[in-house]
């Protein structure tokens, strides 16, 4: 399994992708720094919270997951190298789990750490730093597991994934309707608010549900991706 993990890590991470996501992360950190120097000390926790919530959880974490998780298995399927992993005596779930582990390993430096740094730079208090870590990690787990199978079966997954993120996660999920309960972001924001000691978003779930949700989503997505891998037509 570690062989597949290393291979996926190596094939999915290229300069273009790394540069694009580091640029997004850099913008987030610049904004956080701007909060620190322009916002008064009394308003800073609130402003820092909004920035991490909107930019870190709302943009950086999901796009990082999309770019890397959807290509983890999507690239080999598209460029027809999947056969060199698939036609081996390896249980399919190991391919899924190794790919997820690789995607998460990339999410740490590209999304989770920058989100935490944003909280630090914006001077939002120690609770916000911990909350950023917890929420970014939970959201990364959920998003990565979803985009793994998504990339395997959807052609041009990046385009469709962005559409999904913008319309569903970015717009519908913030509407405070039942859709909030059907979005990763809804749970991540609830968890974030709880950990940061802020007022929960509208129609939030309980803390325990918000903690469990990413793991449930992750487990379900791993099962689904493994099922897809068993059924796929390998070129």
Partner 1 sequence: MTDDAVIEVDEVSKFFGGIVALSEVSCTVGPGITALLGPNGAGKSTLLRIMCGLTPPSRGQVRILGRVPRRDLDVTRLIGLVPQQEALFDPLTALQFVELAGRLQKVDQPRPAAEAALHLVELDPGDGRPVRTYSKGMRQRVKVAQALVHSPQVVMLDEPLEGLDPRQRLRMIALFRRLADEGRTVLVSSHVLDEVEKLGSRVLVIAEGRLAATGDFHQIRELMDDRPHRLRLGADKPRALAAGLLDAAAVVGAWVQGPETVIVDTVDVAAFRHAVAGVARQRDVRLHEVVALDDDLDSVFRYLVGRR
Alpha-carbon distance of 31 to 77, in angstroms, equals 38
Of 139, 153, 85, the C-alpha closest to 107 is 139
88 vs 175 by CB, closer to partner 1: 88
Report, in Å, the least distance between residue 94 CB and partner 1. 10
**Could you give the angle at which helices 15-38 and 113-121 cross, rounded to 10 degrees?**
20
Query: How far apart are the C-alpha atoms of 156 and 166, rounded to whole Å?
Result: 16
Identify which of residues 92 and 181 has a Cβ nearer to partner 1 in the complex: 92
In whole angstroms, how far apart are CA 215 and each of 78, 136, 222?
A: 28, 13, 10
Q: How far is the CB of 85 from partner 1 (least distance, A)?
A: 7
Q: How far is the CB of 49 from partner 1 (least distance, A)?
A: 41
| Shortest Å distance, C-beta 81 to partner 1 | 5
* Residues lying near partner 1 in the complex (CB under 8 A): 3-4, 7, 10-11, 79-81, 83-91, 233-235
Report helix angle 126-153 to 157-164, nearest 10: 130
Closer residue to partner 1 (CB): 57 or 72: 72
Residue 4 or 191 having the CB closest to partner 1: 4
């Amino acid at each position: 399994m570690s062989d597949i993990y290393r291979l996926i890590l190596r094939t999915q991470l290229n300069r273009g992708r790394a540069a694009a996501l580091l640029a997004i992360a850099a913008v987030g950190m610049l904004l956080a720094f701007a909060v620190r120097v322009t916002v008064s000390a009394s308003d800073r926790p609130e402003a820092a919270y909004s920035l991490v919530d909107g930019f870190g959880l709302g943009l950086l974490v999901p796009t990082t997951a999309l770019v890397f998780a959807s290509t983890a298995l999507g690239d080999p399927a598209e460029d027809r190298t999947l056969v060199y992993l698939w036609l081996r005596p390896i249980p399919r779930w190991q391919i899924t789990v190794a790919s997820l582990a690789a995607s998460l390993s990339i999410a740490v430096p590209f999304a989770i750490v920058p989100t935490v740094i944003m909280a630090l730079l914006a001077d939002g208090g120690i609770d916000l730093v911990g909350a950023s870590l917890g929420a970014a990690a939970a959201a990364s787990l959920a998003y990565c597991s979803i985009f793994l199978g998504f990339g395997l079966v959807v052609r041009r997954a990046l385009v469709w994934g962005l559409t999904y993120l913008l319309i569903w996660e970015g717009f519908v999920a913030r509407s405070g309707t039942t859709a909030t309960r059907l979005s990763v972001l809804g749970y991540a924001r609830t968890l974030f608010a709880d950990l940061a000691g802020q007022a929960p978003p509208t129609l939030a779930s309980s803390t325990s549900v918000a903690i469990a949700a990413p793991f449930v989503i992750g487990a379900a997505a791993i099962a689904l991706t493994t099922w897809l891998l068993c059924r796929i037509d390998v070129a």
